[in-house]
C-alpha cells in the first residue's frame, strides 16, 4: 500500500515538471517512482535536464534515458523533487535515512522550489520520531560525537547517537563521511538544533531541512493532498 501511495505522490509531482526545466532529482524509494514517471514524460518528448542527488539516482536516471548534468555545469535549478523521512506542518523535514542528505541539501538549496513527495506516514506534528541523521567526518569521530552530545544535552534532548553501520563497518556516504543517527523523539526547537549542529567543526551536515521545501504531495487512502 505504502508503495502505491509513494508512486501516486511521485506521479503527481512529475506532472509539475515543464519544458526546459533544470531539475534536482532526489533519492530514495519515493524519488525512484518520480524518476520512472519523469522518464515516461521524457520518452514522450519532454525536454529537461536533471542533477541527481546520489550515485544511485544517477544510475537509475541514466538507465531510463534522462539527460543529466552536474551542479558545477548548472548551479541554479528550477525545481527539486525529493522524498523525506518526516515533515511537519511548516514543511520542515528530516531527511537522510537513505544516507544522501548532504547532496540532497546542496541540490535543494540550489533550487528555486522544492517539492516533497511522500506517503501519509511521513506527516508528523513535530519532527524527531525518525532518528536525525548527522553526517560527520571520520577524523576525530569521538570528539565530534561528544560535541554533539553536549549540544543535545544543552537543548534538553536525549543524547542517544548511533553510528550507522556499526563501529566495525560504518556506513560511508557518497562524500566519504560517516553518519550518526540521533534518536531524539521530539525536537521542540528545530532551528536552534540546526544552528548548534552546524557550528560543530566535525559536522558536515544534518538532516534537518528548514525553509527549503515549498510544497508537498502526500498520498494516502483519500488520494494525493497538497501541503503548502
Catalytic site positions: 104
Least Å distance between CB 108 and ligand ABF? Answer: 10
Among residues 25 and 147, whose Cβ is nearest to ligand ABF? 25
Residue with cell 502505491: 4
Among residues 147 and 209, whose Cβ is nearest to ligand ABF? 209
Q: In sequence order, what are the residues at sequence separation of 6 or more whose Cβ sits closer than 8 angstroms to the Cβ of residue 119?
A: 2, 5, 6, 9, 30, 218, 219, 220
Among residues 24 and 97, whose Cβ is nearest to ligand ABF? 97
Give the footprint of ligand ABF on this chain (CB under 6 A): 26-31, 82-85, 95-98, 101, 104
Of 107, 90, 75, residue with least CA distance to 211? 90
Least Å distance between CB 176 and ligand ABF? Answer: 18
Among residues 71 and 149, whose Cβ is nearest to ligand ABF? 71
C-alpha cell at 132: 536525525
Estimate to the nearest angstrom the gap between the alpha carbon of 57 and the chain centroid. Answer: 13
Ranked by CB distance to ligand ABF, the top (closest) residue is 28
Least Å distance between CB 150 and ligand ABF? Answer: 26
Least Å distance between CB 161 and ligand ABF? Answer: 18
CA angle, 192 as apex, 187 and 196 as ends, to 5°? 110
The dihedrals phi and psi of 220, each to the nearest 5 degrees, come to -155, -165
Amino acid at each position: 500500500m505504502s508503495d502505491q501511495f509513494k508512486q501516486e505522490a511521485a506521479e503527481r509531482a512529475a506532472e509539475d515538471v515543464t519544458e526546459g526545466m533544470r531539475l534536482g532529482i532526489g533519492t530514495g524509494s519515493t524519488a525512484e517512482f518520480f524518476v520512472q514517471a519523469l522518464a515516461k514524460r521524457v520518452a514522450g518528448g519532454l525536454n529537461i535536464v536533471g542533477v541527481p542527488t546520489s550515485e544511485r539516482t544517477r544510475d537509475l536516471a541514466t538507465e531510463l534515458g534522462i539527460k543529466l548534468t552536474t551542479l558545477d555545469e548548472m548551479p541554479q535549478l528550477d525545481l527539486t523533487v525529493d522524498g523525506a523521512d518526516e515533515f511537519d506542518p511548516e514543511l520542515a523535514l528530516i531527511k537522510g535515512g537513505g544516507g544522501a542528505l548532504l547532496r540532497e541539501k546542496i541540490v535543494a538549496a540550489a533550487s528555486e522550489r522544492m517539492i516533497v513527495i511522500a506517503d501519509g506516514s511521513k506527516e508528523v506534528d513535530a519532527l524527531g520520531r525518525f532518528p536525525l541523521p548527522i553526517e560527520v567526518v571520520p577524523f576525530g569521530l569521538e570528539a565530534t560525537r561528544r560535541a554533539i552530545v553536549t549540544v543535545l544535552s544543552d537543548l534538553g534532548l536525549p543524547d542517544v547517537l548511533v553510528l550507522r553501520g556499526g563501529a566495525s563497518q560504518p556506513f560511508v556516504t557518497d562524500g566519504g563521511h560517516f553518519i550518526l543517527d540521533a534518536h531524539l523523539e521530539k525536537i521542540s526547537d528545530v532551528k536552534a538544533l540546526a544552528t548548534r549542529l552546524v557550528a560543530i567543526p566535525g559536522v558536515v551536515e544534518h538532516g534537518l531541512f528548514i525553509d527549503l521545501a515549498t510544497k508537498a504531495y502526500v498520498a494516502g487512502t483519500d488520494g494525493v493532498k497538497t501541503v503548502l
